[in-house]
Structure formats: structure tokens, C-alpha cells
Structure 1
């Protein structure tokens, strides 16, 4: 065991955050702390790090163990370059290397006992250098920087000139390179793109130490953790398994607690009815029996009702009227900022009822595409066409659609003047703003609260084409699940940018990946995208890397480069159709082979082979089966090529 938290209590005024919270972390264990926003997850990490004191309880870190912590908005600040900042973490190794080089120079002029003594020290330091992976130290630093999304031309950038998100990534890189025995990470994926998140997952899975993670990224938690510590109503409960296992066990636990409470309530009611009936008989014997039952009831430990009415968003999205079948057509779209080209000659279309996710690395131009379609930004070339009766509802991750100077009440009432005061309050209450909250200014709200206001306006818009830019940012897991359910019930069309892979997997019917200045189309969810990514990238973006281009035959690479958006769609539809036909062919072959075997067994039965008419009938059926099987075998070979 590397860490134990025993009976941790913490309250801020009358607000109890943690009550008798206890759990432990084993060596090399990867654990998650989950709970709704405000549950006390970050507070618990700060208590473990002794940044804030617990009211009572104890945090025990195993002897001689090191601990590292990345806070949610942690950022480094220095005049160093990014590369120099990470070099500082390995200063002990570089100091050791300098000492070894000095000894090498000394040994050239030494002899006898002095040389022997220096050689002994030299060998000892060399062994230590190797144990600390000194020879691979610089390549390890480069690997971490690239893994976290920094390109080599950015290594020389001064840390003080970086954005907040970039500074957080530098802080994360320093922590990972330091390799403490226990790492605490508070929302480590917030400033990473999909590629960097996947790299971090693999890094943590293979990390030799223990890790505690606070994150809302369920896909990330599913891959990395084997234990989940839930903070709910100030209590900490431990579940073994990843996030999906926790979610399933949590639902089962809630159901069993509710059943136990209902059964006990039923039993209490029954006993009370029996007591009342016995007393109504007005006989001494009956009254004594009633009193005996009353004593039993008093001794019963009454269960608390499980809290099934969790405070949650009440999100209902429904278009006022349907759009035409063609919702959006984009042709030849291009955009650059100065010398930096984001994309060129983009073609795609979206049909009614589709839920299309636009994905890609940071800086590829995903949000730019959404802004062009919303006419917030002009394209350099190309055009887009909205279909018949298309009404757009836009969710902006930076919340530019909100007016910072207005109160929540004014934000809704000014945009929807026909709503009554009561209706406005009801809408805001559905998004967890009650009482005097409605008079808060938008500028005073947190990122998550602004997100909820934007979602409220989206719900009221009754649009039939939702364009969403990172809609799950700042939402807790419960709110994300509610948004997923609302989008899956929505009868309109959705086009969104997100790096939340679990959210994409739950909601997307199609994925567009922006890569190599062009789009690759995937007709499926995120799991399908992962399955087909390498294959389709080689076909549609042959110039993505020199190695990939070289691995394709030249004629194939040229043809792939010329494929239009429409051809991509047709090709993938053809592949899916062929896969479906292959499956049907295999199923039919299986049915016929089973029947053929049954006929052989029937022909061996006396009552059958002595019946001429039956034998003729079965023989005809067997001949027909064999003829069909021959055709199916040939067809299967064609389809399987």
C-alpha cells in the first residue's frame, strides 16, 4: 500500500464536503476519483497534498515514497524555453554525466592506487547513470513533449509566451518526467487533443508508479483505471474495475438499496396495520401482542431512502419543424491565416437526422469550419449551402453567443420576450439555476455555468440543425450523460466538434476527421473510426507521411489522392454493402450445411430409407442444397477478396 486516507472530514461552513472518507491505493494501482461538480474531488486531492487541512482524519503516505501533483489549472512560468524547462527535471542526471566526464579526464593523468580509486568511483557512477536511464534521457524528454502535442519547432518557444493550456501541458510533462511513486492528476486531459490523450493513456497504463486521476473523460478512465472512488453526498465509496464497471455496479447498488428500503417500508406499513387491527379487537391478549410488535418496530434500524432524485439537468431538445432532407452542402472550402493553411478544397454534406462529429488534432481548423457555417468567419474560397427550412442552433465553446453584461434572467427574456417570468424561471431551474441565481451576471459565472446557460438557450431555440462546439467542456459526467440522451432522442440534425471520445461513441452516426488539410469520412461511431483509421487514412490521405505514401503502389496513391468527397462516400458505402452481403452469405451457407447434415442423418433411419417416396423427396432437397452451396461458396470467395 502506497497511500491510505482514513476518516477524512472536511466542511466549508455548513457545507459538508467529505464525511469519514476512507480508501487506500496500492503500489502501481491506477485509480479514479469521480463525482458531480462540487462533490469535493479537487478538495480531496489538495488534502492529500497537504495544501489544505482536513477537519479530521489522516492521510498516510508510505515511507520514503515521492508524490507529484498536477492541479486543474496549473501552469509553469519562466524565461526558459519549453525544452529547457523539461531539462531541469533531469538536472541530477546531467550533473552525474558531467561528473563522469570529469573522472574520464582525471584518469588520463592518474596511475596506481589513485587511478584504481577513481576507476571504482567511475564504475559506480556509470552504473547509477545507466539505472537512471541516462543514455536515453534526452530522447525521453523529446518523446514526452511530442506526446503532449508540442512540435519540434515549438521546443524553443519561451514558456512565458505560451497560452494557459500550453503552460499546463508543460507542467504535466515535467511531472511525468519526474516519475514520482504516486501521481495525482486533476483533469489532465482538458488541454490535450485526441492524439495526445491517447499517448497519455498509454503512458499511464505502463507507468511503474501509482496514479490517482480526477477526470470527466469516461473513455480515458475506462482505458486507464482499475479502481473508482466515488464521492457522493460527502461519502467515499470504492468500486473495483474501470468506469463502465463502476457505472454498472453503481446502478445495481442503487436498485438494491431502493428495493431494500421499499421492502422495509412495506414491512413497517404491514406491521402497523396488524398493530392497529389487534388494538381494535380491544382484548387484553390482542393488546399485549400489539405492544410486543410495537417494541419490535422501535428496535428496527430504519433505512434511509436512497437519493434517487439527483439534481440534474432537464434537457429536452426538439425542433419546431423538420428541415428538408439535404441539410448542409459544403464545396471547395478553404481557409488560411497568414502563411498557415488550415484546409483546402473541403467537400462534404450532411443529411437530415445525421449526428456528425468533426474530429482532428488541435489547430487543424475544426472550430473555424463551424464559425464559417455560422457566418462568424469568412472562408478564403468555396461555399456552403443550407437546405430547405434549415434553422440553426449554435453552441459556442467560448460562449460568444452570451452577453457578459446581462443577468441570466435578462439573457433569456431578451431573446425570448414571449416567455412569462414563471416560464423563464422554470427553464433556468431545469438547468440548476434557482432563487437569486437567476440575477447573477453572465460574467460572474464559471465555465460550466455558462455552458448550462448556452444549453438552455439551445433548448429554447427549437432549431432543427444543432451546431455544437465542444458541448461537453466543463460538464460533469452526469450532465454529459443527460446531454447524450437528449441528442440521441433529438429528431433534427447535429454537427459537432468534440474531443470527448466516449461522448462521440455514444452519439455520432458518422465521423469526419480533419487531417492532412482534408477530410476523411467514417460511417460509424468512434469505435468504428479506431478500427478503420489506419486503413482509410492510407487511402484518402496518402501524403500524410512519406512512409505511408511509399507503402502504397504509385498508381494507388495517385488514384487515392484524386478521390472526391462523393467518391469517398460511395466507396465506403460500397464496402459496407459488400461486408453485409458477405455476412448474409456466411449465414446462408451455415443454414444449408446444417440442413444437409440433417438429411444425411435422416437417410440412415430405417423408417426413412425403407420409404421410397420420402427418400426421393430428401434426395431432391439435398441436390438443390448442394447446387445452391456451390454458388454460395463461389460468391463468398468473390466477396472475401
Structure 2
């Protein structure tokens, strides 16, 4: 055990944020802290690192172990370049290297005992330098910066000129390179594109130390963590497994609690009815029985009703008019900012009922496409045609559709003047704004709160074509699940930009990958995209013309031209099928081996018991079973070796 939190409590004023929370982290363990916004996740991290004092309880870190912490927002400054800022983490190695070089020069002019002493120091330093990977520290810095999405051209940029998101990435790079025993990360994926998130997943999964993450990226949590620490209404619960396992267990526990609550309520009602009936008999014996039952009823510890799942926020999106089948047609779309060409000659169509996700790296132009579609930016070339009866509802991540000086109440009442005060308050309440919250100014809201106001306006718009730019930014997991359900039941058409892979996987019916200055089309969700990505990028994104009708399609009727490409495509599909079958056979073999080895161990334990080894027939029976297990295991080991090869 490397970290232990025991009986931690924390309150701000009369609001109790954390109540008697206890958990521990093992060496090399990867854990996530989850909960709705405001549950106290960041507060708990700050208590662990000592930035905040707990009202009660203690945090114990194993002796000699180091902590590294990345907050959500970073304040980096100075004139150092990105590369030099991150390289500063390696200052001890840089100084050691300088000392080694000085010794090399000094040894040329030394002799006798002085030379012997210098050689001894030189040997020790060189050995230490090699142990700390000193000969590769510059390439290590380069690898981390590239992994976090910086290009080599950006390495020379001064830190003072960076955006908040870029500064967070620089700070994350510095933290990873310091290699503390315990890394604590608060929303590390917020400013990363998909490629960088995938890189960080691999880095943290293979990280030699322990990791504690606060994140709302469920795909990321599924791949990195093996323990979930849930914070809910001040209480803390620990679940083993990744996010999906936690979600399933939590649902099962909640169902069991709800069943117990309903059964108890039914029993209470039954007893109350019996008591009332006995009293109605108006006989001394009956009244005594009724009083006895009342005493029993008073002693019952009444169970609290479990909170409804996803009852915090209510979204119902529904168009007021059905559009034509052709919702959007885009032809020959191009956009550049100076010498930076984002995309060239892009064509794509959107049909009614589709939910299309645009994905791609940071800076490729995804948001730019949405802004062009909403007339917020001009295209350099191209034609955009909306279909019959198409009405757009737009959600932008910068919330430019909101008026910063207005109150929430006025924001809705001015946009929808036909709504009365009660209707406006009800809508805002559905998005968690109650009481005097409705008179807050938009400029005073957090990013997540502004997102909820934008969603409220979107819901009221009754649009039949929703264009959404990063709709899940600043939303907690519960709110994301609510939005997923709303979009999946929406009968209109959706086009959105997102880097939330779990959200894309749940909602998208088609993916447009903006890569190589063009759109590559995948007819499926994110899992399908991952399966086909390598092949499709190789086939299409490298096309210098960048001119594919409707984008390059995966899984569509437009089969790639040329017999060689067709054969490659067929061979690729066949190889994928072979790999899946081999993986399934391997897993079945491993499962059977595990079961038999477990049973073999159980038999060994039984054979040591007196009641077994003195019972001849039982002894023979177990020995026979053990022989059969050994024979089968020999067969399975050979099968496993063949499959594994």
C-alpha cells in the first residue's frame, strides 16, 4: 500500500463535501475518482497533496514516496520555449552531464592520485547518468511533447504565448517526465485530441508508479484504471475494475437497494393496513395486537429511497417539423488561414435521421467546418445547400450564442417571448438552475453552467438539424449520459464535433475523420472507426488530390477502384476474421486451463484432510479426477502454445 486515506471529512460552511471517506491505493495501481460536478473530487485531490486541510481524518503516504499533481488550470509564464520549459525537469541530468564533460577535459591534464580520484568520480557519475537514462533524456522530452500533440515547429514557441490548454499540456509533460511514485491528474484529457489521449492511455497504463485520475472520459477510464472511487452526496464507495465494470456493478447495487426499499415500503403499508383493521374491530384483544404491531413498526429502520439514475437534469429534444430526406449537401469546401491549409475540396452529404460525428486532431479544422455551416466564417471555396424545411439548432463550445450581460431568465425570455415566467423557471429547473440562480448573469457562470444554458436553449428551439461543437465539454458523466439518451431518441438529424470517444461510440451512426486535409467517411460508430482506420487512412488520406466524393467511404457501396486495392481490402477483412477467431479460441483455452488448475489445487487441499485420505473410495475418486485433469491440461497447454504462436 503506497497511499491511505482514512476517515477524511471536509465541509465548506454548512455544506459537507466529504463525509468519513476511506480508501487506499496499492503500488502500481491505477485508480479514478468519479462523481457529478461539485461532488468534491478536486477537493479530495487537494487534501491528498496537502493543499487543503481535512476537517477530520488523515492521509498517509509510504515513506520516501513522491507525489506529482496536475491541476485543471495552469499558470505558466516566462520566456522559455516549450522544449526548454519541459527540459528543465531534467536539470539534475543536465548538470550531471556538464560535470562529466568537465571531468573529461580536466583528466587530460591530471596524473597520479589526482587522476585516480577523477577516474573514480567519473566512473560513478557515468554509471549514475546511464542508470537515469541520461543518454536519451532529450529524445525522451521530444517523445512526450509529440505524444501530447506538439509539433517540432511548436517546440520553439515561448510559453508565455500559449493558450490555457497548451499550458496544461506543457505542465502535464513536465509532470510525466519527473516520474513521481504517485501521479494525481485532474481532468488530464480536457485539452488533448484523440491521438494524444490514446498516447496518454498507453503511457499511464505502462507507468511504473501509481496513478489517481479525476476524469469524465469514460473510454479513457476503461483503458487505464482498475479501481473506481465514487463520490456521491459526500459518501465514498470503492469498486474494483474499470468504468464499465463499475457502471454495471453500481446499477446492480442500485437495483437491489431499490428492490429492498420497495419491499420494505410494501411491508410497512401492509402492517399499517392490518393495524387499522385491528383497531376497527374495537375489541380489547384486537387493540392490544394493533399496539404490539405499532411498536414493531416503530423499531423498523426505514431504508432511504435510492436516488433516481439521471434524474438531475432532464433533456427532451424534439423537432417541431420534419425536414426533407436531404438535410445538407456540401461540395468543394476549402478553407485556409494564410499559409495554413485546413482542408481542400471537401464533399459530403447528411441525410435525415443521421447522427454524424466529425473527428480529427487539434487544429485540423473541425470547428471551422461547423462555423462555416452556421455562417460564422466564410469558406474560401465551396457550395453549401440546406434541404427542404431544415431548421438548424447550433451549440458552440465557446457559447457565442449566449449574451454575457443577460441574466439566465432574460436569456430565455428574450429568445422565446411567448413563454411565461413559470414555463421559463421550469425549463431552467430542469437544467439545475433553481431559486435565485435564474437571476445570475451568464458571464458569472462556469463553463459547465453555460453549457447547460446552451442546451436549454437548444431544447426549446425545436430544430430538426442540430449542429453541436464539443457538446460534452464541462459535463460530468451523468450529464453526458442524459445527453446521449436525448440524442439517441431524437428524431431529427445531428452533426457534431467531439473528442469524447465513449460519447461518439454511443451516439454516432457515421464518422467523418478530418485527416490529410480531407474527410474520410466511416459508416459506423467509434469501435468501427478504430477497426478500419489504418486501412482507410492508407487508402485515401494520402491521396494528394484530397478530392473524394462524399469523403472516402469505409463499408459503403463505393468499393475502392483497382483490383489490387480490392484484393487488399478482401485480404484485410479475412485476416481480421482469422485474428478474432484465434483470439476467441485462445481466451476459451486460457479459461479452461484456469478452471482446471483451480480444481487441481482444490483436490490437493482435499487430499491433506484426514476425513478424505482415510476414506479409500473418496481417495481413489479424487486421484482419478486429478489424473484426468492432468491429461486434459497437457492437451490444453499444447493447444495454447499453438494458438499463442
Same fold (TM over 0.5): yes
The equivalent position to 1:565 in structure 2, one of 545, 549, 557, is: 549
SS at match of 2:556: helix
Deviation at 1:539, TM superposition (A): 0.7
Q: Which residue pairs with 1:50 in the alignment?
A: 50
The answer to whether the 8 A contact 2:346-2:547 is kept is: no
Q: In terms of mean alpha carbon deviation, does 156-165 or 104-113 score higher? A: 104-113
Relative to the length of structure 1, the TM-score reads 0.84
Q: In terms of mean alpha carbon deviation, does 102-111 or 329-338 score higher? A: 102-111
**Within 5 Å, which residues of 2 pair with 1:511-522?**
511-522=511-522
The 1-side partners of 2:279 and 2:150 are apart by 80
Establish whether residue 507 from structure 1 lines up as the match of residue 491 from structure 2.
no
Deviations 1:141-200 (A, max 9, x none): 000110111111111111111111111111111001001000110011111111111111
Q: In the superposition, relative to structure 1, how do residues 282 and 414 fare at CA in structure 2: closer, same or farther (>3 Å)?
A: closer
The answer to whether the 8 A contact 1:228-1:240 is kept is: yes
Q: In the superposition, relative to structure 1, how do residues 133 and 309 fare at CA in structure 2: closer, same or farther (>3 Å)?
A: closer
Q: Which residue pairs with 1:554 in the alignment?
A: none
The 2-side partners of 1:533 and 1:203 are apart by 21
Q: Which residue pairs with 1:380 in the alignment?
A: 380
After superposition, the CA RMSD in angstroms is 2.2
The 2-side partners of 1:317 and 1:333 are apart by 30
Q: Which residue pairs with 1:341 in the alignment?
A: 341
Q: Which residue pairs with 1:198 in the alignment?
A: 198
SS at match of 1:308: coil
**Within 5 Å, which residues of 2 pair with 1:3-402?**
3-277=3-277, 290=290, 292-308=292-308, 311-402=311-402
Q: In the superposition, relative to structure 1, how do residues 571 and 15 fare at CA in structure 2: closer, same or farther (>3 Å)?
A: closer
Q: Which residue pairs with 1:601 in the alignment?
A: none
The answer to whether the 8 A contact 2:519-2:551 is kept is: no
SS at match of 2:190: coil
The answer to whether the 8 A contact 2:318-2:462 is kept is: yes
Q: In the superposition, relative to structure 1, how do residues 420 and 273 fare at CA in structure 2: closer, same or farther (>3 Å)?
A: closer
The gaps in structure 2 that reach 5 residues or longer are: 561-565, 578-645
The answer to whether the 8 A contact 1:187-1:213 is kept is: yes
SS at match of 2:98: helix
Q: In the superposition, relative to structure 1, how do residues 113 and 569 fare at CA in structure 2: closer, same or farther (>3 Å)?
A: closer
Deviations 1:263-315 (A, max 9, x none): 22233333444455555666666666555544444443332222227652211
Q: Which residue pairs with 2:477 in the alignment?
A: 477
Deviation at 1:566, TM superposition (A): 4.3
Deviation at 1:52, TM superposition (A): 1.3
The answer to whether the 8 A contact 1:342-1:517 is kept is: yes
Deviations 1:419-466 (A, max 9, x none): 111111111111111111111111111111111111111111111111
The answer to whether the 8 A contact 2:310-2:481 is kept is: no
Relative to the length of structure 2, the TM-score reads 0.84
The 2-side partners of 1:562 and 1:176 are apart by 37
Q: In terms of mean alpha carbon deviation, does 28-37 or 563-572 score higher? A: 563-572
SS at match of 1:320: coil
Q: Which residue pairs with 1:443 in the alignment?
A: 443
The 1-side partners of 2:356 and 2:435 are apart by 37
The 1-side partners of 2:523 and 2:284 are apart by 79
SS at match of 2:156: coil
SS at match of 2:346: strand
Q: Which residue pairs with 1:411 in the alignment?
A: 411
Q: In the superposition, relative to structure 1, how do residues 53 and 109 fare at CA in structure 2: closer, same or farther (>3 Å)?
A: same
Deviation at 1:575, TM superposition (A): 5.6
The answer to whether the 8 A contact 1:75-1:171 is kept is: no
The 1-side partners of 2:414 and 2:285 are apart by 73
Deviation at 1:568, TM superposition (A): 3.5
Q: In the superposition, relative to structure 1, how do residues 404 and 566 fare at CA in structure 2: closer, same or farther (>3 Å)?
A: closer
Deviations 1:548-603 (A, max 9, x none): xxxxxxxxxx8xx5763248349733569999xx99xx9xxxxxxxxxxxxxxxxx
**Within 5 Å, which residues of 2 pair with 1:439-588?**
439-542=439-542, 564-566=548-550, 568-569=552-553, 572-573=556-557
Q: In the superposition, relative to structure 1, how do residues 562 and 120 fare at CA in structure 2: closer, same or farther (>3 Å)?
A: closer
Deviation at 1:341, TM superposition (A): 1.1
Deviations 1:50-76 (A, max 9, x none): 111111111111110000101111232
The answer to whether the 8 A contact 1:75-1:170 is kept is: no
Q: In terms of mean alpha carbon deviation, does 245-254 or 309-318 score higher? A: 309-318
The 1-side partners of 2:445 and 2:437 are apart by 10
Deviation at 1:394, TM superposition (A): 0.6
Q: In terms of mean alpha carbon deviation, does 28-37 or 311-320 score higher? A: 311-320
The 2-side partners of 1:97 and 1:568 are apart by 51
SS at match of 1:423: helix
The answer to whether the 8 A contact 1:183-1:209 is kept is: yes
Deviation at 1:414, TM superposition (A): 1.1
The 1-side partners of 2:365 and 2:74 are apart by 26
Alignment: residue pair count:
566
Q: In the superposition, relative to structure 1, how do residues 306 and 367 fare at CA in structure 2: closer, same or farther (>3 Å)?
A: same
The 2-side partners of 1:288 and 1:16 are apart by 45
The 1-side partners of 2:158 and 2:552 are apart by 43
Deviation at 1:36, TM superposition (A): 0.5
Deviation at 1:107, TM superposition (A): 3.0
Larger Rg: 1
Establish whether residue 430 from structure 1 lines up as the match of residue 430 from structure 2.
yes
The gaps in structure 1 that reach 5 residues or longer are: 544-557, 587-641
The 2-side partners of 1:511 and 1:8 are apart by 45
The answer to whether the 8 A contact 2:327-2:386 is kept is: yes
Deviations 1:390-440 (A, max 9, x none): 111111111111111111111111111111111111111111111111111
The answer to whether the 8 A contact 1:311-1:432 is kept is: no
Q: In the superposition, relative to structure 1, how do residues 309 and 216 fare at CA in structure 2: closer, same or farther (>3 Å)?
A: closer
Q: In the superposition, relative to structure 1, how do residues 570 and 435 fare at CA in structure 2: closer, same or farther (>3 Å)?
A: closer
The answer to whether the 8 A contact 1:540-1:563 is kept is: no
Q: Which residue pairs with 1:595 in the alignment?
A: none
The 1-side partners of 2:420 and 2:220 are apart by 43
Deviations 1:349-402 (A, max 9, x none): 111111110111111111111111111111111111111111111111111111
